[in-house]
Chain A
Amino acid sequence: MIFDIKLAFRYLSGRKLRTFLTTLSILFGVMIIFGLNGVIPSLQDSFRRGVMFSTGQVDFTVTSLTQGPFYEEALDRLQGVKGIAGYTGSLSKNILLPESLSLKTNEGKRISSLTLIGIDPITYETVRKIDLTEGGSFSGPEGWEAYISEELAKKTGKKVGDTLLLPTVSGEKEVRIVGIYKEPTGMGQEDIYLPLKIVQRMFGLPGQVNLAEMLFAPGIDQEHVKQEILALLGEGFQAGGQEAGSEMKAALEMGQKIFTLFGLIAIMMDGFILFITFRTIAVERRREIGLLRAVGATRGRILRLMLWEGVIQGIIGTLLGMIAGFLFVRLLFLDIRPVTEELIKMEIGDPVFPLESYLLAIFLGVGITILGGILPAIRASRISPLEALRPSTVLPKRGEGGRKGWIGTLLLLLSLLGPLSGNLNLNMLGFFLFMAGLIFVGPVLIKPVTEGYSRVIGLLFAREGQVAKGNLENHPHRASMTAFTLMIGLALLIALGGTVTSLITAMNSYLEKSMGSDYILAPQSLMLGGGNVGADPELTAKLKEIPGVAEVTGLRLSMAKGKETNLQVIGIDPEVYPKVAGLAFTAGDPERAFPLLKSGRNLIINGILASSQQVKVNDELMLSTPEGVKPYRVVGIGMDFLNAKIATAYISQENLARDFHERTDLLLLINKEKGVDGTAVERAIRDGVKDYPAFTLSSTAAYRAELEKQVASMTSFYFLLLFAIAIPSLIGLVNTLAIAVMERIREIGVMRAIGATRRQVKRIILAESLLLTGIGTLFSLVTGVWLGYFFVAATNGMGFKVDYSFPVLGILVGISAGLLFGFIGAIIPSRHAARVNLLNALKYE
C-alpha cells in the first residue's frame, strides 16, 4: 500500500498542471456543498435562540399538536392523576422589540428581542424554582410586574423598581421590575417572567397557555403516567417542548433542500470531470500500465494504483474545499446579513458548521473522486499487457460509430416522451434519456458540427483552423467528452438562470397581486409569526373610524397540523380582504372562493400545501386545531407573496377565533377613500398607531419597492452560485485541452519540425478550443432549455406556481460564457504546446 501511495504521489507531482486543475474542480464542488451547509445551520442556530424553555428540570412537558395555545382548563383533567407531584401551565413567546422600545446594553448594543413567559406563581413553584436574588414575588396575578435575569440586569443596568416598555396587542405597556433572578437562560435569549394573566392580555389570549410542565412523584412508573396524561388530555396534545416559529423552520428546511441540491449538482459535475480526467490518464498511461502488467502487477493492483491517485486528490481537494467553503460563506454572510436581518429581524451569527457538514463534505469530496475514477480504473486494469505495449493502430470497427449513433438517436427520440407526457417523473426520466442519447450520439455529431463551424473558424484561423478541425474529427470521442464537460456547466447556467428569472418574475407578480392596498401597517419581521406581537381587533376598529379610511383588514396567524405537515393558518376577512389585497389563484374561482370562506369550514390553500397534502378543490382537509381535529373543505388554491414558500391555508377570521382562539392582527392593510387627501389620512393613521411601535406604516407602493429590492439582492447570491457551479466545467475544459496537448506531444513536435511556428501551434490549440466550446455551447443550449423547463415543472410540482419563460437572457449568457471559456481554456494549454522542446517531443514515447 505504501508503494501504491508513493507511486500515486509521484504521478500526481509528475503532472502538476493536470493535478492542480483536477484538484481545483474538486475544491469547487466541496466548497459549494460545505459552504452552503454552513448557511442554514447558522440561520437555524440564530433562530434556535428563540426556543422557549430549557425543559431539563421537569419530568414531562406537553404542548398542543400545533404548538399553538390551548385553554388552561384542559389541565384540570390532570388533577386526579396519581404520580403527578405538581403541574403548571405557562404562556411564552419570543417577541421582537421595536427600535423605540429596545433595550440598550451598557456597551451600546441593542437587545431587540425577548422571551416573555407568563407563569402562575403558585403552581409554577410546584414544578420549578425561580431563585430571586433581589426583590420579591409578584404582588398578585394581575400586576404589570416582571422578573428579569441577573444577566439582563447587569447588561442593561436595570434594577428592581425600574420599568420596561413592552409591545402588546393593545399598544405598548409599562411593566415594573419586581425581582431579579439567578438562572441560566438557555440559548442566549433573554427570559422575562410575568404573571400569566398579564401575558395572556399582552398577546390577546385570555385563559390560554402553550406549555404544560409536570413533576412526578418519586418511584412511579413514569412512562405509564406519561401515557395516562396524554390520554386524558386528548388527541390535540403531544409530549415535548415549545419551539418558536414553525414557519421559519419550514422556510429554513426548504432553503436547506435547495442548497443541498446546488451542492449535489456541483459535486456531480466534479464526478463527471474526474471521470474524463481519469479516462484520459488511463489512455495516456497505457504503455506504463502494460509494463506493470507485464512485470507482474495484477488487475487489482492496477485498479488500486489508479484509485489511490483519486483518493489523494480527493483528500487534498476536499480539505482545501472546506477551507474555501468556510471563507466563501463568511464572505456571503457579509452580503446577506443586512438583508436577512432587515427582513426577519433576527440577528445572524457567524457561520456554523455542524459535524454532519464536515462528514458530508469528506464523504462526497473523496467519494465522488473515487466514483469518477472507478470506471476508468476498471477499464485500465482490463488492458491486456500486450495491447498496451504496442501502439494501437486499430481503428474503431466499421459500423461501431454508426451503431452508437443510432442508439443515441433512439434514446433522444424516446426522451421526447417525457415533456410530452406532462408527468414530472417521466419528464425527469426523459431528461436522463436525453443526456444518455447525447453521450452516444455526440461523437457522431462532431464531424457535421465542425463542418458547420468550419466557415467561421476558417475566417478566423485560416490554415490552423483546418488542422484543428481535423484533429477533432480524428478523435471524435475525446472531442465529444470535452464538449460534454463544458456543456453541463453551460446548460446548468442556462437552466438555472432561466429558472431563477422565472421565480423572480413569479415572486414579483405575487407581490403585485398580494399588495393592492394603499397602505400597509407592516410588522417588524416578514415572517408573520417571527416574534411579531400584533394588535387586537380594537386597533382595526379604531383605524376604520379615521375619516378618509375606506377599508381596513388584518392578517391573523395560527399553526395547524395536516397529514404529516405543519402549516400556518392565516385568518382573513373574506369580504374586505379581496378589496385590499388578493391571492394568485391556480385553481378555483376567486369570485366564489372568498365568499365561501364566510360559511362553514372552508379554506383556500396555497400550492405547497396542496402538493404536500395531495388535495385539490372540493377535497376535504383534516386539520388538527386546539379544538381538536376539524374537517375543512378546499374551495380554492392560491398564494400570496409573504406566504408563498410555506404551507399555508386561508380561513375566515371567525373560524380562526373559534378553532384556533386567535384574534390578533399581525399585519394590517388599509385603503383610503378615493379622492381623499392621502397626506392627511396618513397622518391620522400614524397618530392612531403611535402606541403600537411594533408596526411600521408605509405606502404599499414604497413597501413593495423595498421588497422587490431585497428580492433582487438575494438573487445576486443565486447568480454567484451559478457561476461557481459553472467554473468546474471551465476547469474541465482546460484540463482536457491540457491532456490533449500532452497526448500529442510527438505530433506537435513533428508539426514544429516541418515548419509550424509557435504562433501557429498556439492558434491550432485555440481554434480547437473554440470549436470544442462551439460544440459544447450548441449542446448546452438544447440541454439547458430542456433542463430549465424541467426545473420549472418540478417547482410547479412542489406547489409553487411559476410560469415557464424561455431563457433568452440565459442563452445569451451561455453563449457569451462559452466563448469566454473557449478563450480562457486555451491559454495555458496553447502556451504549453508552443513551448514544447522539438527534440524531446520527437523522442517522446
Chain B
Amino acid sequence: MSMVVVKNLTKVYESGSTQVQAVRSINLTIEQGEFVAVMGPSGCGKSTLLHLLGGLDQPTSGNIYIEGIDLSTLSDHKLTELRRRKIGFIFQYFNLIPVLDAVDNTALPLILDGAAPSVAKKKAVDWLEKLGLKERFHNRPDQLSGGEQQRVAIARALAMEPALILADEPTGNLDSKTGDEVIALIRKISVDWGRTVLMVTHDSRMAAYADRIVFLKDGSIVDETKLSGNERNEAEKSELIRERVDRI
C-alpha cells in the first residue's frame, strides 16, 4: 500500500472578490520509505500541498489518503489524532514552545497522546541523544542555536514514530553548514529509520538529497524526476535540479 495517495486535489482561496487556485487537480503517490522533495517558484502551491497532506488545511475538492485512510472522512478530532500519531512536522521556523526545554518540547506529542510522563521523557531523551543533543536536554529554545532548535524539532517530529514526515523548508532559516547537517539528518530519517518524507524546498542543494523531486507551477505538477539509484554526486544532482527548475 502506498503511504500517500492524492487524487484530483484542488484548493481554492477566496480573497475578497478574487479566487486563487493554489492547488489544481494534483495527482500524486508517495511510496513507503520514499523521500520526495517538492519544488517550485514562490506561490506555486508547494506549501499549500504540504499543509493539505498534513491535514492542516481542508481541500476544496479531491481526496487525500494517508496509509489508506481518506482524510476527508475524518472528524476534526480524528484528524488531530492522525497528525499526532502518523505524521511528524518540521517547520522552517522550528516552532518550538518557548517556555519548554528540549526534552519537554520533544515529548510534547507523546504527552498529548496520553503517554506516562516517565515514558514520554525516556523516548524524548533517546531521540535527542540520537540527534546529538545530549548536552542540551534542559535548554530552552532561546538557549539553543538555530541548528540545535531544528534538531529538537526533528526529534519532536519523530517522537511518536510516525510513518510520514512533512518538512516545510526545514533549512530555510539556517546557514548553509547547519543546513547541510540538518538535511543529512532528514535523509537519515528516510534511509536509516525507514520513514516516508515529503519536503518542500526552494533550495536545489537540499532537494538533491531526495529520492524524487516533484516540480510545481501555478498549482499543478509540471515535472518529476527520480534521483535515487543515480550514480551522480550531490553537486551534480543539484546542478541537474537547477536546470529543471530554470526550465519551468
Partner-B contacts on A (CB < 8 A) = 2-3, 6-7, 10-11, 13-14, 287-288, 291-299, 301, 384-386, 389, 394, 398, 845
Say yes or no: A386-B51 contact (C-beta < 8 A), given A294-B56, A294-B83. yes
* B212 on the A face (CB < 8 A): no
Give the docked Cα–Cα distance between A13 and B89 (Å): 28
Residues of the B chain whose Cβ atoms lie less than 8 Å from the Cβ of A299: 76-77, 80
Give the docked Cα–Cα distance between A293 and B89 (Å): 11
- Cross-chain contact B99 with A301 (CB below 8 angstroms): no
- Cross-chain contact B112 with A297 (CB below 8 angstroms): yes
Picked from B97, B104, B112, the residue with its CB within 8 Å of the CB of A301 is B112
Smallest Cβ distance from B198 to chain A, in angstroms?
A: 15
Q: List B residues 58-99 near A (Cβ within 8 Å).
A: 76-77, 80-81, 83-85, 89, 91, 93, 95, 97-99
Of the A-B pairs whose beta carbons lie under 8 Å apart in the complex, a sample of 14, sorted by A's number, is A2-B117, A6-B104, A10-B99, A11-B99, A13-B99, A294-B56, A295-B89, A295-B109, A295-B112, A296-B85, A296-B112, A297-B84, A386-B51, A389-B91
Residues of the A chain whose Cβ atoms lie less than 8 Å from the Cβ of B76: 299
Residues of the B chain whose Cβ atoms lie less than 8 Å from the Cβ of A298: 77, 80, 112
Extra 5 A-B pairs, beta carbons < 8 Å, given A292-B112, A298-B77: A295-B112, A298-B112, A301-B112, A389-B91, A398-B16
- Cross-chain contact B57 with A294 (CB below 8 angstroms): no
Number of interface residues of B (CB under 8 A): 30
Partner-A contacts on B (CB < 8 A) = 15-16, 51, 54, 56-57, 76-77, 80-81, 83-85, 89, 91, 93, 95, 97-100, 104, 108-109, 111-113, 117, 156, 160
The 9 A-B residue pairs whose C-beta atoms are closest, nearest first, are A296-B84, A10-B99, A386-B56, A291-B95, A14-B99, A386-B57, A385-B56, A3-B111, A295-B109
Smallest Cβ distance from A19 to chain B, in angstroms?
A: 12
Give the docked Cα–Cα distance between A292 and B99 (Å): 13
Give the docked Cα–Cα distance between A384 and B85 (Å): 18
Give the docked Cα–Cα distance between A384 and B54 (Å): 13
Give the docked Cα–Cα distance between A394 and B15 (Å): 8
Picked from A7, A293, A845, the residue with its CB within 8 Å of the CB of B100 is A7
Give the docked Cα–Cα distance between A386 and B89 (Å): 12
- Cross-chain contact B80 with A297 (CB below 8 angstroms): yes
Picked from A288, A296, A398, A845, the residue with its CB within 8 Å of the CB of B81 is A296
Residues of the B chain whose Cβ atoms lie less than 8 Å from the Cβ of A291: 91, 95, 97
Smallest Cβ distance from B93 to chain A, in angstroms?
A: 6
- Cross-chain contact A296 with B77 (CB below 8 angstroms): no
- Cross-chain contact A384 with B83 (CB below 8 angstroms): no
Give the one of B77, B85, B95 with max A CB within 10 A. Answer: B95
Give the docked Cα–Cα distance between A6 and B51 (Å): 30
Residues of the A chain whose Cβ atoms lie less than 8 Å from the Cβ of B117: 2-3
Give the docked Cα–Cα distance between A168 and B81 (Å): 85
**Chain B residue nearest in CB terms to A11:** B99
Smallest Cβ distance from A289 to chain B, in angstroms?
A: 10
Give the docked Cα–Cα distance between A7 and B95 (Å): 16
Residues of the B chain whose Cβ atoms lie less than 8 Å from the Cβ of A288: 95, 97-98
Give the one of A2, A288, A295, A384 with max B CB within 10 A. Answer: A295
Smallest Cβ distance from B96 to chain A, in angstroms?
A: 8
**Chain B residue nearest in CB terms to A840:** B142
- Cross-chain contact B95 with A389 (CB below 8 angstroms): yes
Smallest Cβ distance from A452 to chain B, in angstroms?
A: 31
Say yes or no: A294-B97 contact (C-beta < 8 A), given A3-B117, A386-B51. no
**Chain A residue nearest in CB terms to B88:** A295
Residues of the B chain whose Cβ atoms lie less than 8 Å from the Cβ of A297: 80, 84, 112
Give the docked Cα–Cα distance between A3 and B93 (Å): 24
Residues of the B chain whose Cβ atoms lie less than 8 Å from the Cβ of A389: 51, 56, 91, 95
Residues of the A chain whose Cβ atoms lie less than 8 Å from the Cβ of B99: 7, 10-11, 13-14
Give the docked Cα–Cα distance between A550 and B104 (Å): 91
Give the docked Cα–Cα distance between A38 and B144 (Å): 52
Give the docked Cα–Cα distance between A385 and B160 (Å): 19
- Cross-chain contact A295 with B93 (CB below 8 angstroms): no
Give the docked Cα–Cα distance between A291 and B99 (Å): 14
- Cross-chain contact B56 with A295 (CB below 8 angstroms): no
- Cross-chain contact B97 with A7 (CB below 8 angstroms): yes
- Cross-chain contact B93 with A845 (CB below 8 angstroms): yes
- Cross-chain contact A294 with B93 (CB below 8 angstroms): no
Give the docked Cα–Cα distance between A287 and B98 (Å): 11
Residues of the B chain whose Cβ atoms lie less than 8 Å from the Cβ of A14: 98-99
Smallest Cβ distance from B90 to chain A, in angstroms?
A: 11
Give the docked Cα–Cα distance between A791 and B56 (Å): 52
Give the docked Cα–Cα distance between A3 and B109 (Å): 12
Say yes or no: A287-B111 contact (C-beta < 8 A), given A293-B80, A299-B76, A385-B56. no
- Cross-chain contact B156 with A295 (CB below 8 angstroms): yes
**Chain B residue nearest in CB terms to A297:** B112
Residues of the A chain whose Cβ atoms lie less than 8 Å from the Cβ of B111: 3
- Cross-chain contact B16 with A295 (CB below 8 angstroms): no
Smallest Cβ distance from A308 to chain B, in angstroms?
A: 13
Smallest Cβ distance from B103 to chain A, in angstroms?
A: 12
Smallest Cβ distance from B86 to chain A, in angstroms?
A: 10
- Cross-chain contact A10 with B100 (CB below 8 angstroms): yes
Residues of the B chain whose Cβ atoms lie less than 8 Å from the Cβ of A385: 56, 83
Give the docked Cα–Cα distance between A295 and B80 (Å): 8
Give the one of A291, A293, A296 with max B CB within 10 A. Answer: A296
Give the docked Cα–Cα distance between A398 and B18 (Å): 14
Give the docked Cα–Cα distance between A389 and B90 (Å): 12
Residues of the A chain whose Cβ atoms lie less than 8 Å from the Cβ of B160: 296
Give the docked Cα–Cα distance between A293 and B85 (Å): 13
Give the docked Cα–Cα distance between A6 and B156 (Å): 18
**Chain B residue nearest in CB terms to A298:** B80
Smallest Cβ distance from B246 to chain A, in angstroms?
A: 28
Residues of the B chain whose Cβ atoms lie less than 8 Å from the Cβ of A845: 93
- Cross-chain contact B95 with A287 (CB below 8 angstroms): yes
- Cross-chain contact A384 with B57 (CB below 8 angstroms): yes
Residues of the A chain whose Cβ atoms lie less than 8 Å from the Cβ of B57: 384, 386
Give the docked Cα–Cα distance between A187 and B77 (Å): 62
Give the one of B83, B99, B100 with max A CB within 10 A. Answer: B99
Residues of the B chain whose Cβ atoms lie less than 8 Å from the Cβ of A294: 54, 56, 83, 89, 95
Residues of the B chain whose Cβ atoms lie less than 8 Å from the Cβ of A7: 97, 99-100
Smallest Cβ distance from B49 to chain A, in angstroms?
A: 12
Smallest Cβ distance from B14 to chain A, in angstroms?
A: 10
Residues of the B chain whose Cβ atoms lie less than 8 Å from the Cβ of A398: 16
Give the docked Cα–Cα distance between A394 and B85 (Å): 32
Residues of the A chain whose Cβ atoms lie less than 8 Å from the Cβ of B98: 14, 288
